[in-house]
Structure 1
Amino acid sequence: MADTAPRTTIRAGRRAQASFGSRPSSGTRHPLVATAMVLPLATLLVVVFGGWDAVVTQASSVGVMLGR
Structure 2
Amino acid sequence: MVETPGRTALRAQGRRAAAALGGRQSAGTRHPLVAVAMVLPLAIVLAVVFGGWEAVMTQASSVVGMLGR
- TM-score w.r.t. structure 2 length? 0.49
